[in-house]
Structure 1
Amino acid sequence: MSFGETGEHITENAFPTKSPDQRFERVVEYAPNAMILISADGTMEMVNAQTEIIFGYARDELLGQPIEMLVPERFRTGHPRLRRSYSEKPNPRPMGAGRDLYALRKDGSEFPVEIGLNPISDGEKHQILAAISDISERKHREEQIARSLREKETLLSEVHHRVKNNLQIIHSLLDMQTSSVIDIQAREALIDSCNRVRSMAQIHQSLYQSEDIAKVNFADFCESLISSLLATFNVDISRVQVKSNLAHVELTIDQAVPYGLIANELITNALKHGFPDGAKGQITVSTQMNDQEVVTLRVSDNGRGMPDDFTPGTSDGLGLQLIELLADQIGGTLDITTNGETTFVINFKIGK
């Protein structure tokens, strides 16, 4: 519950009856929150029944006493200064907005509270009406929710870690199998499979290491992917350079896995086929996101280009078929340009 939101001072004119004081006292007495009327010097002049229940004091134990007796000792010293500061510029508002407030019971126990302050004035006498709500149950529920979220985050992080480990085992098994395969075509197929498995493992590794285990920093992933592929194909970086221009884009796991596999296929294809026979050149990898949250992945190279008879959508190569299927999976579009540089552009909208 929020306090101090009446937006106007309370005066005697607010109670148009023959006995305004009695009506005011009745309103205070039966209020669902602890209500304490405080004088300008901080003395408690009126308390209601709920105050007795919440704080554990009898009414006559509170009347005439300083309000600081209900303030925990560690905050008591500075409280008179805060009270005077409020009296200099009184206005209806919550007390200590944005801070955790605590009150002190008769038995010495502390409990969290919300306090609304309302100045009351009859022209000569100035008082403060404090509405105090015990929020112990709400705080307890919030702590339970926070603890549950932490436990789920820990569990999810461990799941990503285990998935990553299992994928690395699969990658290692495929890599071992590759070394014993004599047929060149079969070996290349196994290497491609290794790279695909590793790209998925890297995504789960990114999630495991990230503070936000629900999102993948795709720029970091791409940098890691590029380094891995350069090592896999033993690329001479003085001959083939890979330039990256990667915007900060965060993707969910459902988006990052297919998008990561697409990036893997495109970069792999450029490294394997773009620069045969010692040819030199450059591969450019870039990402960006516009105001409509459309993410664009662009991979281009100035190598030998696609075959003369290449027609988008009709290729029987597994890599390009996989790219088309994955682009469709995330609701994206694939555009291929073969004039000059060979350029692949994947667009998709986050959250689609």
Structure 2
Amino acid sequence: MPNSTTTVLYIDDDAALGRLVQRILGRRHYVVEHVLDAAAGLARIGQGGIDVVILDHDLGTMSGLDVLAQLGGIENSPPVVYVTASSELSIAVQALKAGAIDYVVKTIGEDFEILLVSALEHSVERARLMRAKESAEREVRAARDRAIVLLAEVNHRVANSLSLVSSLVRMQASAVRDAGARAALAETQARITAIGNLHRSLYTSDDVRTVDLSAYLESLVGELGQSMSSAGRTPTIRFEATPILTKTDKAVSIGMIVTELVTNAIKYAYPDGEGEIRVSLSRDAEGATVLVVADDGIGWSGQGPISGTGLGGKIIGAMARSLATTIAYAQQPKGTRAVVKIASESVAGAVSD
């Protein structure tokens, strides 16, 4: 049995039929209001408080289809049961396409009452479910928006914290007299910066699942150049990139590889401190991401003894394995050219909504 507060608006220019419908539905505890024309019906709907509309097809100067067209522009308009004396299927199709939830043909006798009540109950239930669905979707969107804001705040705070740690390491390096220790601290600072820049990118990103790799690496390379220049090394770093989106965890690995390769080039490629280091990011014909770090310095082919502690090489190897790839050192007349080729599925993967 429907709730007694369910209010039905019946729009029909037949006063006698209007009274009949009021009696039929009144017995089933519906509250029925009857108006004789479209204008009065639209005005009453505009006042609010109508749960469902029973709309006749022939309203004299207007048709029920005209009313449906106007209801389509009203937000949260009530559901409509379309009623007509015609049995033509085309009218039913037009009414349903125009937004009516159900359709009833006027007949004489109990059939009309049964069909009308059934259509009305179906419309009320469907409207209830639609309102519940819309409410649930609004709650989900609101929860998602809150989660995005909170996650952005977390990334912002992490980036700030890592920036503070990086500053502390830099301060410590400036207080150390031993050149080796100072260089080790500078490398540690660069690694912290690589991770901090990623969180800064996530803070400004619309989708924290992915990172614009080109923008992230450009920022990273820029800070590496500034950091190493302050340590007394002055090679010029040039960066070229194609915009590429990648998953966040993959961006960390790529950023660490760039950090180590560029740091090594700054430290060892140019003993006199002057030269050029080139970093490029692109896609090849197969869709793979290709990262290249090259210089024109004294050269190293990936073979032979490694200067320093070897920690950088271990980090590069670990990050490359996480990307299911390796570092290739291309042969060239002078300098070093390190190439990292990463399959598209290893970089982007499937990011679903």
Residue aligning to 2:181: 186
Displacement after TM superposition at 1:323 (Å):
0.6
Matches within 5 A, 1:1-352: 58-59=31-32, 61-62=33-34, 64-66=36-38, 68-69=42-43, 71-72=45-46, 83-84=65-66, 101-103=75-77, 122=87, 126=91, 128=95, 130-131=100-101, 133-134=126-127, 135-234=130-229, 240-280=235-275, 282-289=276-283, 294-306=288-300, 310=304, 317-340=310-333, 341-348=335-342, 349-350=346-347, 351=349
Displacement after TM superposition at 1:193 (Å):
0.3
- Distance of 1:253 and 1:121 partners within structure 2: 62
- Distance of 2:242 and 2:164 partners within structure 1: 31
In 2, are the aligned partners of 1:199 and 1:261 still within 8 Å (CA)?
yes
In 2, are the aligned partners of 1:283 and 1:302 still within 8 Å (CA)?
yes
More helix by percentage: 2
In 2, are the aligned partners of 1:274 and 1:301 still within 8 Å (CA)?
yes
Displacement after TM superposition at 1:251 (Å):
2.3
Displacement after TM superposition at 1:347 (Å):
2.4
Q: Which amino acid aligns with 2:224?
A: L
Displacement after TM superposition at 1:200 (Å):
0.7
Q: Deviation digits for residues 129-177 of structure 1, max 9, x if unmatched?
A: 5215422111110111111111111221121122112212221221121
- Distance of 1:158 and 1:253 partners within structure 2: 16
Displacement after TM superposition at 1:62 (Å):
3.8
Unaligned runs of 5+ in 2: 1-6, 49-61, 102-122
Q: Which amino acid aligns with 1:344?
A: A
Equivalent residue pairs, number: 284
- Distance of 1:125 and 1:170 partners within structure 2: 73
Residue aligning to 1:3: none
In 2, are the aligned partners of 1:71 and 1:102 still within 8 Å (CA)?
no
Q: Which amino acid aligns with 2:304?
A: F
Displacement after TM superposition at 1:246 (Å):
0.9
Unaligned runs of 5+ in 1: 1-33, 75-79, 88-94, 105-112
Residue aligning to 1:25: none
Q: Structure 1 vs Structure 2: percent identity of aligned residues?
A: 25
Residue aligning to 2:107: none
Displacement after TM superposition at 1:219 (Å):
1.1
More strand by percentage: 1
Pair 319,125 (structure 1): closer, same or farther in 2 beyond 3 Å: closer
Secondary structure in structure 2 of the residue aligned to 1:72: helix
- Distance of 2:316 and 2:144 partners within structure 1: 36
Q: Which amino acid aligns with 2:193?
A: R
Displacement after TM superposition at 1:336 (Å):
1.6
In 1, are the aligned partners of 2:8 and 2:30 still within 8 Å (CA)?
no
In 2, are the aligned partners of 1:168 and 1:201 still within 8 Å (CA)?
yes
In 2, are the aligned partners of 1:217 and 1:251 still within 8 Å (CA)?
yes
Secondary structure in structure 1 of the residue aligned to 2:76: strand
Secondary structure in structure 1 of the residue aligned to 2:229: coil
Pair 337,136 (structure 1): closer, same or farther in 2 beyond 3 Å: same
**How high is the TM-score relative to the length of structure 2?**
0.66
Residue aligning to 1:11: none
Larger relative contact order (Cα-Cα within 8 Å, sequence gap ≥ 6):
1
